[in-house]
Amino acid sequence: MRIKTFLLTFLPILCLAPAVLAEGLPDLGEVSQADFSPIMEKHVGETIMREIRLHEPSYVFDPEISGYLNRLGARLVANSADARQDFEFFMLRDATLNAFAMPGGYIGVHSGLIMAAQSESELASVLAHEISHVTQHHLARQIGAQSQAQLPMLLSLAVAILAARAHTGGDVAQGALMAGQAASIQTQLNYSRDFEREADRLGIQLLERSGYDTRGMGSFFERLQKFGRLYENNAPGYLRTHPLTTERIADIGNRIQSLPYRQVPDSLDFLLVRAKLKAGEGTPQDAVAEFTSQLHERKSTSEVAMRYGLAVAYSRAGNYTAAEQELVQMPRLKASSAMFELLAADLRRKQQDLPGALKILRTALVRYPQERAVTYALIDTLLAASQAQEALRICQDDLQMYPSDAYVQGLLAKSYAALGMHLQQHRAQAEVYVLQGLLLEAISQLQLAQKASDGDFYEHSQVDARLRELKVKQAAEAKPKKQDKQDKP
C-alpha cells in the first residue's frame, strides 16, 4: 500500500515549477484499482524514478553523493523492524528544503536540505522520518479505501507534472490547470498530525538504534520551523508536506529528553559531501574565495573538509596544480576517502595524464571495492585510454554482482563498441534500455544486433530469443495505449 506514500510526499516537489504539460501521460502500466501489490508498487516507483532520471533537470548523477546517502539510509533501514523492501536514496540539486518518499522505497533528498543540516544526526533524522512514513504505509491509511479508485489517475497526473518540468513549448494553460489539480490533491493528502507524530516517534527510535544523536531531530526540526515562519505561505516543501507545529516540536522534545545524551561525531563522508556541494555553488572564483577564507579563519572544525572543498573549487576554476596541492596534504591530516582518490584521478585526467589517473583508480578500487563511483571512474578512464579489453572485463565482472546497474551496462556497450564488436554492442545497449524501462528503444537495438555482420550463430540465436521476449512484453504493456494514439488525428 506504499503506493500512496509517494503522492503525499512527492507532489509537493512537483508543484515547485510545473510550467507546461508534457505531450502524453507516461505509461504506468495497468494499475489495478483495488490491488496495489508490492510488484505494482515497485513498478510505479520505477516508472517515476525513470522519469526523474531522464527528464528531471535537478536530478544529478553523482555516484559519490548517492553512495553516501545510500550508506546513511541503509544504516537506518537496517535498524527498522518494519522495513521489508529495498530502499534507494538519491539527491536532487534544489535549494529548497525538501525530502520525499515514493513507492518502491525511493527516497529523494534536496541538496538544500543536506546543506541546511548542521550535523549528520540532523540529516539522518529527516531520512528516518521519511523511512517511517514508508514503513507505516501512512499515505495508504490516509487516503482510505474509497479514494483508491482515483489512484492510477493521480499517479499519472503526478508523473505528467513531473515530466512537464523538463519540457518546454507545451500547452501552458493546461499545465497551469494540472498545477492547480496537483495543489488540490496535495491539500487532500496532507499528513494528519497523528501520522506526523508516529513518523517522528519511529524516526527517533531509528536514530537511537542506529547510533545517531536523537537531539538532531529536535534541533533540526526547530530550525526548519523557524525557516517556515519566515516563508509564511510560501513555506519550503518539507514544511508543507510535514507541517511542523509547535506541538509537534514539543512532542519531539519530550521524547528525546528521556533518552541518554550522546555525542556523535559527523562522519568524514558527511563533511566531504557538504563541502563538495558548497564548492559547486556560485562561480568557481566565489567558491575558491569562500573556502580560502574558511581555512584562514578556521570557520569549520574540519580542516580536511575545508581543504577538500578548496580542491574541488580549484578544480572548477581550472587551477589543477593548486587543487592537487590541497589533496597531497590529506595523509598529513591522517584522512583517507575514496572521494580524495576520485578527485585526484579526475585532476590527472584533466591534465591529459591518463596513466596517472589509472594508477590512482586501480589502487583505489582495491582499497574501496564497494564504492561504485570508483568502479565507474576506472572503467570510464580505461575507455578514454583505449584499454577497452580491460574495461570490458571489469564491466562483465561487475555486472555479475550488480546486474541492474544501468551505468555499467552502458559502459559495457561502449567497451564492445570500442572493440568493434557490433552485435554485442547493440545487445548490451538494448539491456541498458531495458533497465531504464524503454522497451521500444531496446527492441530497435536488438534489431540492429540482428543486422550486425559479426557474431556467431549462437549469439544471433540469443539476440533473436531476447527480441521475441521483449516484443511480447512490449505488446502487453502497450495495448491500452496504442488505441489512444490511433484516435488522434
Which residues make up the interface to Zn ion (CB under 5 A)?
Answer: 196, 199, 242
199 vs 374, beta carbon nearer Zn ion: 199
Cβ-Cβ contacts under 8 Å for 60 (sequence gap 6 or more): 91, 92, 93
201 vs 209, beta carbon nearer Zn ion: 201
| Sign of the Cα pseudo-torsion (393, 362, 337, 277, in order) | negative
26 vs 237, beta carbon nearer Zn ion: 237
88 vs 196, beta carbon nearer Zn ion: 196
3 vs 347, beta carbon nearer Zn ion: 3
242 vs 466, beta carbon nearer Zn ion: 242
User: Least distance (Å) from Zn ion to the CB of residue 133?
Assistant: 6
Q: If 0-12 CB within 10 Å is exposed, 13-18 middle and 19+ buried, where does residue 229 land?
A: exposed
The SS3 call for residue 109 is strand
Q: How far apart are CA 98 and CA 93, in angstroms?
A: 11
User: Least distance (Å) from Zn ion to the CB of residue 113?
Assistant: 13
Count CA atoms closer than 13 A to 347's CA, side-chain side.
Answer: 26
Run of H or E including 108: strand 106-110
User: Least distance (Å) from Zn ion to the CB of residue 129?
Assistant: 5
- Order across the sheet with 99-102: list the strands: 88-92, 106-110, 99-102
The SS3 call for residue 437 is coil
Q: Give CA angle at 247 (242, 251), nearest 5°.
A: 90
User: Least distance (Å) from Zn ion to the CB of residue 204?
Assistant: 13
Amino acid at 176: A
Residue with cell 578500487: 365
How many residues would you count in the chain?
A: 489
User: Least distance (Å) from Zn ion to the CB of residue 394?
Assistant: 42
Residue 226 burial (CB count, 10 A): 11
User: Least distance (Å) from Zn ion to the CB of residue 196?
Assistant: 5
Can you list the positions of beta strands (E) in 28-136? 88-92, 99-102, 106-110
User: Least distance (Å) from Zn ion to the CB of residue 188?
Assistant: 16
63 vs 243, beta carbon nearer Zn ion: 243
Closest residue by beta carbon to Zn ion: 242
User: Least distance (Å) from Zn ion to the CB of residue 190?
Assistant: 10
Q: How far apart are CA 112 and CA 281, in angstroms?
A: 11
199 vs 449, beta carbon nearer Zn ion: 199
User: Least distance (Å) from Zn ion to the CB of residue 114?
Assistant: 18
Measured torsion, CA atoms of residues 165, 171, 173, 176, in degrees rounded to the nearest 10: -20
191 vs 212, beta carbon nearer Zn ion: 191
242 vs 348, beta carbon nearer Zn ion: 242
User: Least distance (Å) from Zn ion to the CB of residue 471?
Assistant: 43
Residue with cell 535549494: 95
Cβ-Cβ contacts under 8 Å for 178 (sequence gap 6 or more): 18, 21, 157, 160, 161, 164
The cell numbers describing 21, all together, are 504539460
